[in-house]
Amino acid sequence: MVTPELLRRYPFFAGLTHQQLTSLATVAHTMSFEAGETVFRDGEPASCLYLVVDGQVRLFIESDYQGHRVNITDGDEREVLGWSALVAPYEYTATAECSRQSELISFDVFELRRIIEADSRVGYVIMHGLCDGLDSRLRCAYVELASLVPVPA
């Protein structure tokens, strides 16, 4: 069961009231994944937003350059995954695979969007948190991609 107290542990929700967290908790549930199990794949419809409660989830994209995987993050506790569920065209832009047994919170994105539309403060806090996370992931992806390109002699 997801509680407001559990959600409060995530800096992602900093600034939300107990009532707002309670509203979010009602559209969330926990899920367990085994090591090696895929949470979602690049290109799939983005139907859930996830928070890592316990474990580790590797986020990566497949590169066309020599078939390499470009690691974006090794998300552990408190990581947010699946931002694409809140941004059109609502398709995952990376693959998330559990590096070890993991427990995640999953938000029903249709209900989450309803809450965001009804309470602009919730929407602002969530979108602000997503932007912060995306910034650091883009920086990691740039470094990873640069390491794949051969340096001219």
pLDDT tens digits along 107-131: 999 999 999 999 999 999 999 888 7
Domain ranges of the chain: 31-109+116-148
Which tokens is 122 given?
A: 């919730």
Cβ-proximal residues to 17 (8 Å cutoff; 6+ apart), any chain: none
Give the other-Cβ count within 10 Å of 106's Cβ. Answer: 20
Q: Residue 67 in 3-state DSSP?
A: coil
Angle between helix 120-148 and helix 18-25 axes, rounded to 10 deg: 70
pTM: 0.83
pLDDT at 151 over 90: no
pLDDT score of 148? 59
Asked if 134 and 61 touch (Cβ cutoff 8 Å), the reply is no
CA distance 73 to 44: 19
pLDDT at 45 over 60: yes
CATH class, range 31-109+116-148: mainly beta
